[in-house]
């Protein structure tokens, strides 16, 4: 593949930057969470800002860039879309709901009925409906196939009971995609179905969980006799594992984390340039190493997108990219905290906090990046088994 950006791609990058400069509030700090775009700033009108920016992104057609034109998309290569994802993440911009735009939409296009595509894709593309994902459970995270949520068929409905956890954005979402066990005697990945659930369904309750930074970015979701229409199964009944793996393949394209690390380097370098007491040979070496590793991760992610565009297998290359970028993200936050010294530990409520407390917040949430969408250990397993062909022990 050609790693150089085309003139059109660079022009689009500048267009996205100009849009964000123009549309984001002047006081928008851009605090970055573990999955960028799924958090809402703690400013009083943060959620309204998110919805307003989402609508404007939808008007420009940027929320459906790589979707087929017959479903309201622009039919752009996935590689080109990473330019948009990268710039939004670099600014910590609201308005981008990746669970809908980057993950569920292409899965819907691959597995959905025409009625499902017509119902769900257009509101996503317009930035009018937002989604969360409910896979993990208190006893099923990395070992997702052991999940216990159950959906029992009742004529044209399924009665859903169970508990999901670590669901990002659930306290704001209109809809949820989830896995539940529909074959009562099934085990592991067999007998699971993939559901599309209206969050306003009676029996659905959301309870926010505050992260280390004190933000309610994760949630528990409880399902108590929630009636889900059978027509809301995505793919075939009892074959939801295949659908979920498709969605996760898009989730593990992790250019957003690379963009956040680039933002860390830029902001810390600027702060150090303005504070001579912080400059040293050691600090320059640390930032230079981060810059090198960031460029490596950037190329890895664009290669994964290229593989998607060519219709080539991307599961273990995506695992490599996810592993590299999220571990780098965590290391970059730790390095930034080290370079800023004790002042770096001040949070955004303290007037003396460097960079408006951005580094302290980033440090606290960075560990979540190596857990969400499959832990680093899970990514190594995927690389070893599917990439290197090593047998299971």
Report pLDDT for 36: 44
Give yes or no for a contact between 177 and 228, defined as CB atoms under 8 angstroms apart: no
Q: Give the Cα separation of 303 and 317 in Å (integer).
A: 8
Q: Give the Cα separation of 135 and 151 in Å (integer).
A: 14
User: Phi and psi dihedrals of 225, rounded to 5?
Assistant: 55, 40
Report pLDDT for 243: 96
User: Phi and psi dihedrals of 180, rounded to 5?
Assistant: -145, 155
Q: Give the Cα separation of 232 and 234 in Å (integer).
A: 6
Closest CA to 178 of 170, 288, 328: 170
Q: Give the Cα separation of 184 and 205 in Å (integer).
A: 24
For residue range 12-67, list pLDDT tens digits in order.
Answer: 999 999 999 999 888 776 655 444 444 455 555 778 888 999 999 999 999 999 99
Report pLDDT for 35: 43
Q: Give the Cα separation of 328 and 207 in Å (integer).
A: 31
Structural domains of the chain in order of their starting residue, each with its CATH number: 7-129 (1.10.540.10), 133-239 (2.40.110.10), 252-387 (1.20.140.10)
For residue range 247-286, list pLDDT tens digits in order.
Answer: 987 877 789 899 989 989 999 999 999 988 888 999 999 9
The 3-state secondary structure of 288-350 reads HHHHHHHHHHHHHHHHHHHHHHHCCCCHHHHHHHHHHHHHHHHHHHHHHHHHHHHHHHCCCCC
User: Phi and psi dihedrals of 272, rounded to 5?
Assistant: -70, -35
Report pLDDT for 367: 86
Burial class, 362, CB count within 10 angstroms (exposed 0-12 / middle 13-18 / buried 19+): buried
For residue range 194-240, list pLDDT tens digits in order.
Answer: 999 999 999 999 999 877 777 777 899 999 999 999 999 999 999 99
Has residue 2 got a pLDDT over 80?
A: no
DSSP 215: -
For residue range 127-173, list pLDDT tens digits in order.
Answer: 999 999 999 999 988 889 999 999 999 999 999 999 999 998 899 99
Please give the share of the chain, as a percent, with pLDDT higher than 90. Answer: 63
Report pLDDT for 165: 94
Has residue 325 got a pLDDT over 60?
A: yes
Q: What 3-state class would DSSP assign to 50?
A: helix
Has residue 308 got a pLDDT over 90?
A: no
């Amino acid at each position: 593949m050609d790693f150089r950006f085309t003139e059109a791609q660079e022009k689009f990058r500048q267009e996205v930057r100009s849009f964000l400069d123009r549309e984001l509030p002047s006081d928008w700090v851009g605090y970055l969470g573990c999955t960028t775009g799924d958090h809402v700033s703690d400013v009083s009108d943060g959620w309204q800002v998110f919805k307003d920016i989402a609508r404007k992104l939808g008007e420009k057609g940027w929320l459906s860039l790589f979707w087929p034109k017959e479903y309201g998309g622009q039919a752009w290569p996935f590689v080109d879309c990473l330019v948009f994802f990268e710039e939004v993440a670099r600014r910590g911009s609201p308005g981008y709901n990746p669970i809908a735009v980057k993950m569920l939409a292409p899965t819907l296009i691959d597995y959905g009925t025409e009625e499902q595509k017509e119902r769900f894709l257009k509101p996503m593309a317009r930035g009018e409906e937002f989604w969360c994902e409910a896979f993990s459970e208190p006893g099923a995270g990395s070992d997702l196939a052991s999940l216990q949520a159950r959906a029992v068929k009742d004529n044209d409905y399924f009665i859903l009971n169970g508990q999901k956890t670590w669901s990002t954005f659930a306290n704001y979402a209109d809809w949820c995609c989830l896995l539940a066990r529909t074959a009562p005697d099934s085990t592991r990945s067999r007998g699971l179905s993939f559901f599309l659930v209206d969050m306003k369904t009676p029996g659905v309750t959301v309870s926010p969980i505050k992260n280390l930074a004190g933000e309610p970015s994760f949630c528990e979701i409880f399902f108590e006799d929630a009636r889900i229409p059978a027509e809301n199964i995505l793919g075939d009944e009892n074959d939801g594992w295949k659908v979920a793996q498709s969605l996760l393949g898009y989730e593990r394209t992790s250019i957003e984390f690379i963009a956040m690390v680039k933002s860390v380097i830029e902001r810390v370098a600027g702060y150090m340039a303005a504070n001579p007491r912080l400059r040293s040979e050691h600090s320059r070496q640390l930032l230079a190493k981060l810059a090198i590793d960031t460029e490596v991760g950037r190329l890895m992610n664009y290669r994964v997108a290229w593989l998607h565009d060519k219709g080539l297998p991307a599961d273990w290359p995506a695992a490599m990219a996810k592993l590299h970028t999220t571990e780098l993200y965590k290391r970059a936050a730790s390095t930034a905290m080290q370079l800023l010294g004790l002042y770096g530990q001040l949070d955004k409520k303290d007037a003396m906090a460097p960079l408006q407390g951005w580094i302290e917040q980033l440090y606290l949430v960075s560990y979540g990046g190596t857990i969400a969408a499959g832990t680093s250990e899970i990514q190594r397993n995927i690389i070893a088994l599917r990439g290197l062909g090593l047998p299971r022990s």
